[in-house]
Structure 1
Amino acid sequence: MRKLLSLLIVPLVAAATVVSVGAPAAAHPARPFPARIALPNGFTPEGLTIGHGTTVFVGSILDGAVWRGDLRTGRGSVLIPGTPGADKAGLKLDAQGRLWTADFSGGGASVYDAETGTKLAHYQFTDVPGSYVNDLVITQRAVYFTDSARQVLYVVPLGPGGRLPAPTAFRVLQLSGPAATPDAYHNGIVALPDGDLLVAQMLTGQLVRVDPRTGGSRLVDLGGYSVERADGLVLRGRTLYVIRNLTNVIAVVRMNAAYTAGVVQREITGPQLRSPATGDLLGSALYVVNGRFDVESTPSTDYDIVRLPA
């Protein structure tokens, strides 16, 4: 585990009112969503995704466990038990209610039933030592995965209605241009409206646009701003949230209409951020999970999810 963490290091909902029918017009404010949700001690989280309603999933980069909780109540439990050596990084929920996970040092990806935790499929992309399948994005036609140690994307095509393909029906997309920069440490990935992909380079501090058909790429102009330690990416419309783990900063970037350039509007920071790994949006809130990559994980190390104004 020390080795995995060292690799990571280097490299409101608005308050509602309820009025009873026939009762006096006295408003009762709803209980606010918790600003902090504790995860099990020693969990060592990395990936986070919000599913249907207020359900949230968090994966462990220690042993691949997946915790499922409720952002409204703050309560949850382990959905998928951990297994030594089965570490997971990014995870996302698809429209069919399936949970996809990037299996980090395992060189592949797994798909689970998000209700039961049953494994539905596994794709073994590579057995090359030192590969790190880190993050993913789901589109209508395919699921794309980054590898932090290799200049490639792994592509799992989806059939009609999101049907899962055979275990060997994936392809390796070789990257070219700035996305092929050695030791860039590709991490977060999101899909753009025109079909291109946006990938964070954690060690170069750059964002690159990738053509998912050819693997060709170009830099996104951020006006000289560096997104060094960029981990997770969250995109809503033309607003991009770049979650920069060891810097304890979330850069809020306003992208231009073509998504070829962006201006940093503000930075979110504060003591509640403790090496945030990634996040997701729910209403007017940004939820991020603290990976705490600057400390050694022990069975008693505390971890959490925090809610921030988006």
Structure 2
Amino acid sequence: MRKLLSLLFVPLVAAATISTIGSPAAAHRTAPFPARIALPDGFTPEGLTIGRGTTVFVGSKLDGAVWRGDLRTGRGSVLIPGVPGKDKAGLKVDEQGRLWTADFSGGGASVYDAGTGAQLAHYQFTAEPGSFVNDLVITKRAVYFTDSALQVLYVVPLGPGGRLPSATSFRVLPLTGPAATPDAYHNGIVALPDGDLLVAQMLPGRLVRIDPRTGGSRLVDLGGYSVERADGLVLRGRTLYVIRNLTSVIAVVRLNASYTAGVVQREITGPQLRVPATGDLLGSALYVVNGRFDVEPGPDVDYDIVRVPA
């Protein structure tokens, strides 16, 4: 989604030649983007998305706060203050500069001005107890949300120019086929070039392809590979990054031309991955947020964003 396709080491253009004793003039470069960006202690992050330029947003599953930072400098601050009981999961920025959030246990979604943090709209999909609106994908015509407890997608249609609809102008799309498997825990979602949607089923470790018109679905053949604990999905071309939280593994999958099957090319691992939740791409790097779901949340628990080679 509209990422800055540039090298992470940017040449610094010198205005004049700087001479040093005993050596020729040296070319200078800016410092590399930080490999780790600290979030506020106790933030309890879940969703991450990169907006315009090098701006990154992270949402809190504790109280729904949204932190905004700069991947170039590593600095940031809270854009949207948290409210107890208003947890957020996935989030994305659209072409109009609006920040969409999946409001997790709240059963709905919210839309904010990504520059000011002002709330622009709210959609209440369900009041059913135990619902978890988890992740979303934005297309030209609609925004689609997964629910980890219910076998449905929530669809918010967009008007001309991406115009927001009224608060009640959404539909609930029942799912059929393998996407209707009970207790599969639907999580990450991406859009395919042909208009279908790809959704991670976290507990059975599968990917399902869903027709957004009918709700019909079929499994994506991964050759027996399990994506158990699949949380966030990131798609660039035919390369899919499956961020598997409690395994601390990112599976890099090469999908076929019809997006019906894929082969795992490699797994990204390392001590910097501490139960990663979601991520996004910027140039040749994948940025992921460590949710640290294996530790008890608390005000002194540290959280961060880390950069890995894509």
* TM-score normalised by structure 1 residue count: 0.95
Report matched runs for 1:150-165 at 5 Å: 150-165=150-165
Query: 1:262: Cα distance to partner?
Result: 0.2
Query: 1:15: Cα distance to partner?
Result: 1.9
Partner SS, residue 161 of structure 1: helix
Provide the residue aligned with 1:283 in structure 2.
Answer: 283
Rounded to whole Å, the distance in 2 between the matches of 1:70 and 1:107 is 30
Provide the residue aligned with 1:86 in structure 2.
Answer: 86
Provide the residue aligned with 2:42 in structure 1.
Answer: 42
Rounded to whole Å, the distance in 1 between the matches of 2:99 and 2:10 is 31
Rounded to whole Å, the distance in 2 between the matches of 1:34 and 1:269 is 19
Superposition misfits of 4+ residues, deviation over 4 angstroms: none
2:125/2:154 contact within 8 Å kept: yes
Letter in 2 for 1:79: L
Rounded to whole Å, the distance in 2 between the matches of 1:132 and 1:181 is 16
Rounded to whole Å, the distance in 2 between the matches of 1:242 and 1:287 is 13
Please tell me the root mean square deviation across aligned C-alpha atoms, in Å. 1.0
Provide the residue aligned with 2:13 in structure 1.
Answer: 19
Provide the residue aligned with 1:57 in structure 2.
Answer: 57
2:9/2:33 contact within 8 Å kept: no
The count of corresponding residues between Structure 1 and Structure 2 is: 299
Partner SS, residue 28 of structure 1: coil
After superposition, the C-alpha distances for 1:143-201 in whole angstroms (9 at most, x for unaligned) are: 00000000000000000000000000000000000000000000000000000000000
Provide the residue aligned with 1:229 in structure 2.
Answer: 229
Rounded to whole Å, the distance in 2 between the matches of 1:33 and 1:18 is 14
After superposition, the C-alpha distances for 1:15-65 in whole angstroms (9 at most, x for unaligned) are: 222232453663102110000000000000000000000000000000000
Letter in 2 for 1:160: P
When Rg is computed on C-alpha atoms for both structures, the one with the higher figure is 2
Provide the residue aligned with 2:77 in structure 1.
Answer: 77
Rounded to whole Å, the distance in 1 between the matches of 2:90 and 2:13 is 41
- Could you tell me which runs of 5 or more consecutive residues in structure 1 were left unpaired when the two chains were aligned: 1-11
After superposition, the C-alpha distances for 1:258-305 in whole angstroms (9 at most, x for unaligned) are: 000000000000111011000000000000000000000000000000
Report matched runs for 1:168-179 at 5 Å: 168-179=168-179
Provide the residue aligned with 1:6 in structure 2.
Answer: none
2:14/2:28 contact within 8 Å kept: no
Letter in 2 for 1:302: D
Partner SS, residue 106 of structure 2: coil
Rounded to whole Å, the distance in 1 between the matches of 2:33 and 2:77 is 18
Provide the residue aligned with 1:5 in structure 2.
Answer: none
Rounded to whole Å, the distance in 1 between the matches of 2:13 and 2:136 is 43
Rounded to whole Å, the distance in 2 between the matches of 1:19 and 1:43 is 38
Provide the residue aligned with 1:4 in structure 2.
Answer: none
* TM-score normalised by structure 2 residue count: 0.95
Letter in 1 for 2:13: V
Letter in 2 for 1:18: L
Provide the residue aligned with 1:253 in structure 2.
Answer: 253
Identity among equivalent pairs (%):
84
Provide the residue aligned with 2:96 in structure 1.
Answer: 96
